[in-house]
Structure 1
Amino acid sequence: MDDPIFQHPLAYLLGLEGLALLRGWAGDYDEKFTRERLNEVRRLLDEPALAGHPGVSVARGSLEDGYRQWAPVYDGPNRLFELDEPFVYGIVDNLPPGPALDVACGTGRFAEGLVQRGHQVTGIDGNEGMLAQARRRVPTAEFVLGDLSRLPVPAESADLAVCTLALSHVRSLPEVMAEFHRVLRPGGHLIISDVHHEQVFRGSVIAALGPGGEPGLVPTYRHLTGDYLRAALSHGLQVRACEEPTAVSAQSVPSAEPDLRELGLWREWPWSLLGLIPQARDAAWHTPLVINWHFQRSE
């Protein structure tokens, strides 16, 4: 589908309010919370800056552009790193060193940790900007340009493959799982961490701006838990662990009523919009942030 995406700040805010109201309907919140949400919806609808906003037409940008633009600051603070690194290293630290792949390695975040643990690491990524950062960061690892569906390494050449925050950009998982099975030795381990489909649904999508700064988004897909499971099992990868961690944060208690006219620029959406309805945001975003998998190739 090539038609542009249409994004409107009022539509986003009402969507979050709807998710929050459904949680109240299910019994997670009391009557006071629900009535506050209904009153807040009325305020949103009555605010001219929201009701009169023209909305934004957003292109379906490219993965290459999005990650090229992100590469210089990719290693900045990212709360998803706090949820995938303990899981990955909790498994890796119990495995003997050996040939390892960091698939969709980005700037070499995990390649660095694997090298430090004695593994012989090959990092693979489809973006030269990311690979340039990785080579500077981990000079003792090998980094090559490659695609997830056609990994540029021999069959049965790795004891371990790590792939994080990448599969949400893949339309179909089975061919990727087939590649992981091909490159792993019998008994080899595959560790995957990915953005949870609930986060993608709420707007956690990477921007890919056009040449003149035009709004665009990286192609991103919402894979359900069963999608990963079916793709892995059908290609001889057995499940060893699965976790869907949720970040723990205190409920917001706003000190003053937010200014509904302060919407921020499009490239700051949805993050700049979240502060406008903090209580609804906390309710609507209380979902898993990532999904973590540990698979093992059958002997």
Structure 2
Amino acid sequence: MSSEFRVRELVLGIQGMALLRRAIDGDEAFLKQRVDDIRRFVLSDEQLPGRGADVDELDAADGYASWSAIYDTLPSSYIEVEEPIVHEILDRLPAGAALDAACGTGRQTLALTSRGFRTTGVDQSPQMLDKARENAPEAQYRVGRLESLPLDDQSVDVAVCSLAMTHLPELDASVAELARVVKPGGRIVITDMHPFVISLQGQCLFVHGSEQLAFVRNHVHFASDYLNAFARAGLTVRACHEPLFNGRLAPGGYEEYIADAARAAWEGIPLIIAWELSVPA
């Protein structure tokens, strides 16, 4: 399914969000610039980066098959604020058997193996697994889905799932699977796109093929959705982290074109929600 990349509307939305957040106590010059920019983008036919391009919605299998070719080359503020949290948790855990669920190109697989964990990476995309084998060759890999993990019951000490559950319409099946494969007393680390970000921004675009834009749909899961899924799976929440926007804008994108407004719009907004969980002994 294709749609138009409505970059002017996105630019106006960012300008409006910055204006909304600063309207009460913002600097007058900043507020005036936002109003002037909105007027300019509404009234002019100014060419904006990517304007008029087509955008395809892909399912997770097709999307990540395409995305795998460039995934590791793209700077990401989401990954930059997420990784220190995951690494700090892993540094506190004794090495043992580990699962990287929806491992993608092996980012967390490498973090686990480098800390001495005997790691299995699972992903539904063979193309992503090929990249993971290059990035973390000491791990084992299996094709599989979050909702039906190809591991035995109580077979790992630690399970990590990074930035993947947002693509699922509901959480219960995947959370229950993680709880199933982790031993009593073991730990689960789940990170995901923060519901604030998905509610405000929606989808993350990438270049599909030579020039086509595409996305794999993100679904909004509120903290209460996670907590209810954890309770139904019998998991104990040990900690929740919500790291904030770090100031990085996607290079070459429309937000860089309106950087002052974009940074003001996202300042103080959490990008990621990260959960540290345990399986009762």
Q: TM-score, normalised by structure 2?
A: 0.88
Change (3 A) 1:149 1:120: same
Change (3 A) 1:181 1:195: same
Mapped pair 1:274 → 2:258? no
What are the Cα deviations for residues 139-188 of structure 1, in whole angstroms up to 9, with x where unaligned?
Answer: 32110000000000011111100011111111111111111111111121
Partner SS, residue 96 of structure 1:
coil
Task: State the alpha-carbon separation in 1 of the partners of residues 275 and 3 from structure 2.
Answer: 31
Q: Which residue of 2 aligns with 1:224?
A: 222
**Structure 2 contact 77–246 (Cα < 8 Å) conserved:** no
For 1:41-80, list aligned pairs within 5 A: 41-49=38-46, 55-56=52-53, 58-76=55-73, 77-80=75-78
Shift of 1:101: 0.2
Q: Higher Cα Rg: structure 1 or 2?
A: 1
Partner SS, residue 190 of structure 2:
strand
Larger deviation, residues 69-78 vs 238-247: 69-78
Q: Which residue of 2 aligns with 1:283?
A: 264
Shift of 1:55: 4.3
Larger deviation, residues 133-142 vs 286-295: 133-142
Task: State the alpha-carbon separation in 2 of the partners of residues 7 and 219 from structure 1.
Answer: 15
**Structure 1 contact 66–206 (Cα < 8 Å) conserved:** no
The amino acid across from 1:182 in the alignment is R
Unpaired stretches in structure 2, ≥5 consecutive residues = none
Mapped pair 1:205 → 2:186? no
What are the Cα deviations for residues 93-142 of structure 1, in whole angstroms up to 9, with x where unaligned?
Answer: 11111111011111222212212222111110111011112223333211
Shift of 1:91: 1.3
Identity of aligned residues (%): 36
Mapped pair 1:183 → 2:181? yes
Partner SS, residue 220 of structure 2:
coil
Q: Deviation above 6 Å: which 4+ runs of structure 1?
A: none
Root mean square deviation of aligned Cα: 2.6
The amino acid across from 2:28 in the alignment is E
Task: State the alpha-carbon separation in 2 of the partners of residues 72 and 21 from structure 1.
Answer: 37
**Structure 2 contact 102–124 (Cα < 8 Å) conserved:** yes
**Structure 2 contact 158–188 (Cα < 8 Å) conserved:** yes
What is the number of equivalent residue pairs in this alignment? 277
Shift of 1:72: 2.8
Q: TM-score, normalised by structure 1?
A: 0.83
